[in-house]
Every structure is written in C-alpha cells, then in structure tokens.
Structure 1
Amino acid sequence: MSYFHYGWATSNLRKSPEQKILAKGSDSTDEKPGEMHKLRITKIDNKVVWEIDGVESFAYVESDPEKVLKGGYFAIRLMNPAMGIYDNVRVYEIP
C-alpha cells in the first residue's frame, strides 16, 4: 500500500513482482497531515481491503487463483516527502 503524497489524495495497491497498480482509492490522510490516523489492511482469501480512519479506501479481488498471495510479507509505504511514525502494529491470522 502506498499513501500520503501531498496533493495526490490517492492510495495505491501494488503487488510484487509486477509493480503495476492493481487498485486506487481515496486517501484522507492529507486532509489532516499532523494528526494520527488508523490504518487497516484486511486480506481474506483473494480479497484485500484498505481502510483509513474506518473508511474503505479500496477493495481488490484477485481473479487469477495462481496469483493469490498465500503468505509472506506486506509493506505500508508513505510517499515522498511525507514522514510518519507507526505504532501499535498488529498482525492477526484470520481462521
């Protein structure tokens, strides 16, 4: 996920190694850049949902079963020139 590039007001989803943008959505963090925001990523099976402050920015459904991510890594990226601090990061397995 990438978000907060001042003036763009979009969040993007990319998946490696392709690096192409798979989904775009709104980004409300640039409306209040000095405040704390709650970010949430939910991935269940072939669907990924990105929320900012409880509002869905986008949902993406992978239609190719061969490309569904089954485990590994994730990244949350602030766009240049933003600075941010992450705290209270939690990762849960959803049975």
Structure 2
Amino acid sequence: MLPHAILTDIVTRKERDVDNGLRGTEGQRKKLTGQDLSEHVRAVVKQCVSKTLSIPEEEVDDRVALTEMGMDSVMAANFRMNLQHTLPVCCSNADK
C-alpha cells in the first residue's frame, strides 16, 4: 500500500522471491503467494524459534508467546537475526 494514491502512477512494485529459507541462486527461488506464502513464513519462523530455543520444531506451538516458551531478550535478539538472515525481512526490536 502506498502512502498516497498519486504514487501509484510512478511507483512500480517488484515481485519478491522466496527461497524457502535458503539464500540460494535465482534457479532455486520460487514465487509464493497467499496461503503458500503464509505456510512458508510460519514454517520458517518455527524453524528459527526451534533453533533459538534449542528445542525440536514439534515442540514449538505457534499459539504460545515466545516468552512463555522461555525466550529472553538476548535470545529474542538472536531469533531476530536468524529470521532476518533467513527471510528477506527487516524486524524491529521495538514494541509497536
């Protein structure tokens, strides 16, 4: 979404490639949308939580807060770095 409708005429949006959590070559990337993208992001977040907390992925419950699973502020910073490295996103550490 653009901040003003007039920008629609001058701004072109590029499609984002998703590389299944692997920063691979162009040939390894595929485009995901909708439900597939949602499932992919959920799986990658689950992998990062599992890695950060050193627990099996099966024990990560996406309905439980990270603090309730034992993640402290130092672990959260590590989790954020893992997530940013794995997905093409920028995560803020500020509460909004």
Normalising by structure 2, we get a TM-score of 0.28
Higher strand fraction (1 or 2): 1
More helix by share: 2
Please say which structure displays the higher CA radius of gyration: 2
- The two structures have a TM-score, normalised by structure 1, of 0.28
